Chains A and B, each alone.
Chain A
Amino acid sequence: MKSEVQSWLDERFGLLGITRFLTHKKVPLHKHTIWFYTGSAILLFFTIQVITGFMLILYYKPTLELANESVGRIMTEIPLGWIIRSVHSWSASFMIAFVFVHLMSIWITKSYRKPRELTWMSGVILLLISLFFGFTGYLLPWDALSFSATKVGTDIPRAIPVVGAWVTSLLRGGEDVTGDTLTRFYGIHICILPVFLFILLGIHIYLVQKQGMSLPVEAESRGEKVREIPFWPNFVYREMIVWLLLVGILLSLGIFLPPSLDKAADLMAPAPEGIKPEWYFLFLFQTLKIFPAKILFVTGETLAVLLMIFAGALFFFLPFIDNKPLQRKGKIITGAAYILIIYALVMSIWSLL
């Protein structure tokens, strides 16, 4: 019966080519194979975000007056709404955490070497999209903390010379964070970003399939033959185990440690104590804080932001910078990855103290 369905679809879609490709796709088994699980984990969490997001859309009201109240209604009146919101919140963190892990694993294993440069670059854009998802989503409950964090977060681009004020105004929908900012962030979060994400994801996944899985640098340079297993069904069964465990952990955390909701933001109130962005921005936040107010003729903030943009550019073009992976330059770049991980961890923890 299965093959009847398959041939019916194939007569119309021409799916046999895809299924044949999938069954012939091989996954190499080497010391870096474990990191291959991070990609589908990200997709898993994103799918959960879409499903829980669709559900939250049914009741959330994206206006200044009703946003906070509608989230409260979801949490108290709608049956099991608090679980849906909690899972959406936790899955966002899981997704971004896995994006970081995925990214660092590619960096450290140097999987971005030719011909995978575009895969890396599309991946960096996907990272930015994911972070922007998190940033826009964080404002939507419109409570005191998220309002203030957004005020701070959208103020930072102002430090960029020439275009800074324009970027801030674009993000906020005006001079200040208002109901317009909320509506704008909502539209970006549920419509604009998903469109861009799907486009970039399509490119990213197509490239991964087209080019196949990478090998460790040493193995490739020595032309070693590496043991392989078929993607379907062998690798997929292994991925399913990972998905099951991840879903179990996610739902358990979502049910037993759900987020609460503070009262609605007041545009005229003083900033609450302990403003902080979501955990994935903490290290950047702390970096900004350690820069002195003024250095020579520029503000500390301008310098910090420019440095971050410069670092971002290096990051984006990493595959081209790391063109001699096996030599000293390559080893320094690998070392830089570890330094970045330690730096991010230290700064994040410091910002919480």
Chain B
Amino acid sequence: MFGKRVLVHMVLFCFLLVSFGPLLYPAQQTVEELQTDTAQSEEESEKIVASPQNIKEETGIFVFVGWMWLSICVLVFFLRLKIREADRLFRLKFFSDEKE
């Protein structure tokens, strides 16, 4: 089920979803808009828009999301190795009568 092609497609889809998400909703992403947006929208529509408070937070968030996806790719890669190994062991009847 998690063949390489399927998995690469899934990760690419997730990544595209994430990277185009900001483009679909530009009001929250750029710094200039951040600085004017929150003040203006609070007065005009009395709506509080959720967004990072400063550029440091914003870059931190991008770094975090990048790190998270990198970690997910690495972990999925290794998990697939583990799955292959576990399946192989099962086929060899390695697990029968074992407490582990």
Contacts and interface: CB of A to CB of B under 8 A. Distances in A.
Contacts of B82: 233, 237
Interface string A124-161: 00000000000000000000000000000000000000
B32 interface: no
Interface residues of A, number: 39
Contact of B83 (A80, A82, A237, A259): A237
A261 B75 contact: no
B86 A234 contact: yes
B13 to A, nearest CB: 9
A91 interface: no
Contacts of B80: 241
A34 interface: yes
A262 interface: yes
Contact of A256 (B7, B18, B49, B57): B18
A80 B86 CA distance: 40
Contacts of A251: 65, 68
Nearest to A228: B90
Interface string A11-37: 000001001100100000000011000
B98 A238 contact: no
Interface residues of B, number: 41
A44 B96 CA distance: 30
Given A230-B90, A245-B10, A19 B83 contact: no
Contact of A75 (B7, B17, B50, B68): B50
A45 B64 CA distance: 20
Interface string B69-88: 10010011001101100110
B2 A241 contact: yes
Contacts of A255: 61, 65
Contacts of A85: 50
A249 interface: yes
Contacts of B31: none
A324 interface: no
Contact of B51 (A82, A240, A249): A82
Given A75-B48, A245-B76, A19 B2 contact: no
Interface string B39-54: 0000001111111110
A258 B51 CA distance: 8
Interface in B19-37: 21-22, 25, 28-29
Given A251-B68, A256-B18, A234 B50 contact: no
Contact of A252 (B7, B18, B47, B48): B18
B50 A249 contact: no
Contacts of B79: 237, 240-241, 244
B99 interface: yes
B14 interface: yes
A86 interface: yes
Interface string B51-67: 11100010001000100
A267 interface: no
Given A82-B50, A85-B50, A248-B68, 18 more contacts: A23-B99, A82-B51, A229-B87, A237-B79, A238-B1, A238-B2, A240-B79, A241-B7, A241-B79, A244-B72, A245-B11, A251-B68, A252-B18, A252-B21, A252-B65, A258-B28, A258-B50, A260-B48
Question: 10 shortest A-B CB distances, which residue pairs?
Answer: A258-B50, A82-B50, A252-B18, A263-B46, A256-B21, A261-B48, A234-B86, A237-B83, A248-B72, A244-B72
28 contacts: A20-B99, A23-B98, A23-B100, A72-B48, A75-B48, A83-B61, A86-B50, A229-B90, A230-B95, A234-B86, A237-B82, A237-B83, A238-B2, A240-B75, A240-B79, A241-B79, A245-B72, A248-B14, A248-B68, A252-B17, A253-B21, A256-B28, A257-B25, A258-B50, A261-B50, A262-B45, A262-B46, A263-B46
Interface of A: 16, 19-20, 23, 33-34, 72, 75-76, 80, 82-83, 85-86, 229-230, 233-234, 237-238, 240-241, 244-245, 247-249, 251-253, 255-263
